[in-house]
Amino acid sequence: MRLRRGHDAAMPALETLPEKRKITTKPRPSDVAFRGIVTTFGLINLLILTLIGSFLLFRGLEVLKNEGFGFLTNQKWDIVPDESGNQPKGMIGLGSMLSGTILISFVALSVALPISVLTALGLNFYAPLRVRSFLVTMIDLMAAFPSILFGMWGFFVLMPSAEYWAMLLHRYFGWIPIFDVPQPFFTRSPFIAGLVLAVMIIPIITSVSREVFSQAPLDRIQAAYALGANKWAMIRAVVLPFGANGVVGGAMLGLGRAFGETVAVFTVLNIVYQTNWDILFGAGGNVASHIVLRWGEAGEYEVKALLAAGFVLFLLTLFVNMIANSIVRATVKKGR
């Protein structure tokens, strides 16, 4: 189609556009193979994840079918076959361990979250440059510590002190129900386990928060300062609204980690199968440590039950992590 060169420049000629051409390339065999291989490997991840869920479910199915929903709520774990060798219904369930999981994880989060957010603000806006990279390295290092190290440290170093604080808390705040104890047994309590977990998840939450805060838009920060804000006013007006979502995502990542932590909890908590909401009292457990505790002497049926418990834990952490990741991803994309 040619442009009509007109003598009347006042009215330009209307041009009909040509049809769009379809551009195709025949892919070379090597590229097809490459894409095939790489895509396959990408899909293997999906396969693994599905297999994990499937096998655990498959193995534990018998127990889950026996107990039904009670598997989640029953507050006993008595593997006691009756005369005909069958396990009567209603005798095993994760109830106490689920509430224990939630209890210690939330103790951990309530200690770790404020500390992490404040530290992240400090690293981004208060620490001098040279100090900052050292501190960040230290926190990343702590994220790499083995969990058994946290467990041992928690047991031998933190617990003696924490026991003292627990007694103080009980003496002065024991009127609050959660700080009451049935007996003065303060060692290896959910409180201490929660503190150890807090130390373990602080690096995660701090890292995510720090990343998010560092992306707070500089032009808005400058606008706040130009209006006569001091540092805290600026943080409150610009950084916190911007980073709130990301911090929530980071907190949920930490929560997911706390839900699944095994070894550290096992060393520091007195794993007893009972529902204990008195955080200062030395008894409790979480699903992961319960599995480890019972594994050694588990008979065939109990093994299945423990695998079913694993399936429940798998779903729980999967769920929390999915939410956390979508929140963090949304914050990163937002970046306005």
Partner 1 sequence: MTHSQNNGSGDKEMETKTRPTPNSLASVASGRAQKQPGTAPLGSGLEARGVHAWFGSHLALRDISLDFSAGTVTALIGPSGCGKSTFIRTLNRMHEFIPTAAFAGQVLLDNKDIYEASVDVTKIRLQIGMVFQKPNPFPSMTIGENVLSGIKLAQLDVPKSERDDLVQDCLERAGLWNEVKDRLDAHGGSLSGGQQQRLCIARALAVKPKVLLMDEPCSALDPGSTLRIEETINQLSSSMTIIIVTHNMQQAARVSDYTAFFLSDGGPGELIEVGPTSEIFTKPRDQRTENYVSGRFG
Partner 2 sequence: MSVTTTTVAPTKPWVKTPWQRLPSLSLVLLSLIASGIIIEMTPLKGKLGFFLVFVPILTISETILARVKADKKAAQDVLVSSFIWTATFLVFLPIASILVTAIVKGLPGLKPNIFAETMQIVSFTDPLNKGGLLHALVGTLYLILLSIAISVPLGILTALYLTEIRGPGSNFIQFIVQAMSGVPSVIAGLFIYSSLILATPLRSSSMLGAFALVILMVPTVTRTSQEVLLLIPNDLREAGLALGATQWKTVAMVVVPAARSGLLTAVILGVARIAGETAPLLFVLGGADGLNWNPFSGNNSALPFYIWKGFLIGLPEAIQRAWTGILILLIVVLILFATARYLGSKNRRKP
Residues that bind partner 1 (CB under 8 A): 129, 217, 219-220, 222-230, 233-234, 237-238, 241-242, 336
Shortest distance, position 279 Cβ to partner 2, whole Å: 19
Shortest distance, position 135 Cβ to partner 1, whole Å: 17
For residue 92, list its beta bridge partners: 77
Which residues in the 148-177 window bind partner 2 by CB under 8 A? Answer: 148-153, 156-157, 161, 164-165
Q: Is 46 in the site for partner 2 (CB under 8 A)?
A: yes
Shortest distance, position 62 Cβ to partner 2, whole Å: 13
Max Cα-Cα span within the chain: 107
Shortest distance, position 308 Cβ to partner 2, whole Å: 10
**Residues near 2 by beta carbon (within 8 Å), at least 6 away in sequence:** none
> Half-sphere exposure of residue 195, counting CA atoms within 13 Å on the CB side?
21
24 vs 45, beta carbon nearer partner 2: 45
Using a 10 angstrom Cβ sphere, with 0-12 exposed, 13-18 middle and 19 or more buried, the burial of residue 301 is: middle
Tell which one of 99, 147, 209, 276 touches partner 2 (CB under 8 A): 147
Which residues in the 300-329 window bind partner 2 by CB under 8 A? Answer: 306-307, 310, 313-314, 317-318, 320-322, 324-325
Which residues in the 49-78 window bind partner 2 by CB under 8 A? Answer: 49, 51-52, 55-56, 58-59
One-letter-per-residue 3-state SS of 260-304: HCCHHHHHHCCECCCCCCCCCCCCECCHHHHHHHHHCCCCHHHHH
**Residue whose entry in the numeric block shows the structure tokens 């404020």:** 114
The entry of partner 1, partner 2, none near residue 64 (CB within 5 to 8 angstroms by kind) is none
The entry of partner 1, partner 2, none near residue 43 (CB within 5 to 8 angstroms by kind) is partner 2
User: Can you read off the two tokens belonging to residue 202?
Assistant: 């602080």
User: Can you read off the two tokens belonging to residue 124?
Assistant: 């981004």
Q: CA–CA separation, 47 vs 40, rounded Å?
A: 10
Q: CA–CA separation, 298 vs 313, rounded Å?
A: 19
The DSSP-derived string for 100-124 is HHHHHHHHHHHHHHHHHHHHHHIII
Q: Is 268 in the site for partner 2 (CB under 8 A)?
A: no
User: Can you read off the two tokens belonging to residue 83?
Assistant: 């005369």
Tell which one of 96, 191, 250, 261 touches partner 2 (CB under 8 A): 261
27 vs 217, beta carbon nearer partner 1: 217
Which residues in the 86-145 window bind partner 2 by CB under 8 A? Answer: 114-116, 118-119, 121-123, 126-127, 135, 137-142, 144-145
Binding-residue pattern over the window 213 to 252 for partner 2, x denoting contact by CB under 8 A? -----------------xxxx-x-----------------
